[in-house]
A and B are shown apart, each in its own frame.
Chain A
């Protein structure tokens, strides 16, 4: 059974095709990630699914209800957290939560168990106004408000954008916890490293899905030899290595440069070529492609 089913949904804004006709589904109880850079169409797709934007073509269902026709039903059973913090800044944590509880005809106390640790972390500050909270706290409050009516499906648009690394990690742990309570989750993010936390992901680029599978399967589909190399100056190293024979692509990734080859090659050959070009390698190793490598490969050669 699918919690969310998308069938040929598309949306244009004038000349711009924000979402090209696409189809996918999210299974019940699944944590599904929409992964892609800014402008890939993630937010537009989410706005269609949460019923605030009508699609140009195709149809989609949430909990087997049509997002265009049955939007009142859907608005009752989803929890939504927009990309931009959108709670009342002049109301306190407690007042915001009570307001949303009231709007959904429920009580704050009834769903504290679902929120678990999330609420416990912000509870000491419940009298503080939302506008005065840190980024991580705002995000936890927004998540609590989205969960207040125990939604069947939780939809989050870039919840970790602009949040520090520790809070991001905590946030994904919370999502795992929520999923164990039987809530299906659709989450979008521009951070490729977060893809691994999802059950399945759709990689998005320019309004299209370019890959859809489990993170592991997508990584496994990467068949080219890939190396992580590091020199004294990675920028110069990348420039020099561009003339390496049989090179497929090279690009920076964290403190390494990732080197993708069209054919098998030994580490020694790489080191020799670098030395010949006047660059000394501090470190070099054969690695396994991560989601970002897969994404870059699809963008450049897909």
Chain B
């Protein structure tokens, strides 16, 4: 029974130029369109300080940094080794390393180097944070030597972690993948079910031995396959054409894609429960998928700078977790030890939505 449904669905797809265009044309278009980055203000970014000096001036600098409103202290580090650890866990966005005898050197008028290490895997946030840190340090210097000539006594030494060349592809390839996959998967499934409702074929196949789960699987499986082809395509273009690194495990990456696509497909089925026409389905999926994914997933605007309410919404957007996971895998080379959290969330969302969509799709009305 399922085989017939799947064959039929593939015929629908392959015979409709519009579907094919959305399926394979849109990803490429989006990839090219989002080739730019936006910078925005960030507040309360989690950072860590490695203070080798622990003297009056180093405390003064720290208090200046934390009173700026841009940064908050996530952790205090004890040694250089911990720097890498806190970055890999994604706990901090920036680390400041204050050298030993900070106050003494300043008093003697020597050059002092402060290391500013930035997580640049999210390029927009990285650059913005680096600029904030540099201007706070400059400001601090002017305070202790109000009369001094434009002589840089404290030299911020910047190091960009993960993305030393500050390539914006690091930000937009994961973002566009998230956007394209959810749009295609959710929109196409919701539109195809709505089309069957419009044409009356949904009623006809309802009056058959087919159960709801067959009808849903018959829709989801073909699109699952096509969406996975799409995911692979986007990632390959990202790597080969746009120079995205691939430092992690391909199988883990594909697994994340699979979970994410399942979430999107199940969401599409849920949309079609409410939508009775193809237009309605298209509209609901664009509105409920595209805007939140672009705006609230951290793809373009840093989640850290959002008001509390929007941050909470960002937490229920699947793309937030998908982007986090694939950035971790591709850029940082992370395995499950780094991405078990987003993986679990996506798996949970997929299971919940599929069960919900089977329960919701009605083959009978009151």
Interface residues of A (CB under 8 A from B): 50-54, 71-72, 75-76, 78, 80, 82, 84-91, 95, 98-105, 145
Q: With A71-B364, A87-B204, A91-B11 in contact, is A105–B1 under 8 Å at CB?
A: yes
Q: With A84-B200, A86-B201 in contact, is A52–B4 under 8 Å at CB?
A: no
Cα-based distance from A88 to B204 in the complex (angstroms) = 11
Q: Would you give the shortest CB distance from A9 to chain B, in whole angstroms?
A: 14
Contacts of A76 in B (CB 8 A): 208-209
Cα-based distance from A105 to B4 in the complex (angstroms) = 10
Does B210 make an interface contact (CB < 8 A)?
yes
Contacts of A82 in B (CB 8 A): 200, 203-204
Chain A's closest residue to B2 (CB) is A102
Contacts of A84 in B (CB 8 A): 200
Total of A-B residue pairs, C-beta within 8 Å: 76
Please, what's the 1-or-0 string for B103-136, where 1 marks a CB less than 8 Å from any CB in chain A? 0000000000000000000000000000000000
Q: Which of B202-228 contact A (CB under 8 A)?
A: 203-211
Cα-based distance from A71 to B8 in the complex (angstroms) = 25
Cα-based distance from A249 to B275 in the complex (angstroms) = 49
Q: Would you give the shortest CB distance from A16 to chain B, in whole angstroms?
A: 15
A88 in contact with B12 (CB, 8 Å):
yes
B15 in contact with A86 (CB, 8 Å):
no
Name the contact of A90 in the complex, choosing from B4, B11, B209, B365 (C-beta under 8 A): B11
Q: Would you give the shortest CB distance from B246 to chain A, in whole angstroms?
A: 39
Q: Would you give the shortest CB distance from A65 to chain B, in whole angstroms?
A: 14
Q: With A88-B201, A103-B205, A104-B208 in contact, is A53–B365 under 8 Å at CB?
A: yes
Cα-based distance from A105 to B12 in the complex (angstroms) = 21
Contacts of B209 in A (CB 8 A): 72, 75-76, 103-105
Cα-based distance from A82 to B366 in the complex (angstroms) = 19
Cα-based distance from A52 to B206 in the complex (angstroms) = 8
Q: With A90-B16, A95-B11, A98-B4 in contact, is A54–B366 under 8 Å at CB?
A: yes
List, sorted by A's number, 29 A–B pairs whose CB atoms are closer than 8 Å: A50-B207, A51-B207, A51-B364, A52-B207, A52-B363, A75-B206, A76-B209, A80-B207, A82-B204, A86-B201, A88-B11, A88-B12, A88-B199, A89-B199, A90-B11, A90-B16, A91-B8, A91-B11, A91-B12, A95-B8, A99-B7, A100-B208, A102-B1, A102-B3, A102-B4, A103-B205, A103-B209, A103-B210, A104-B208
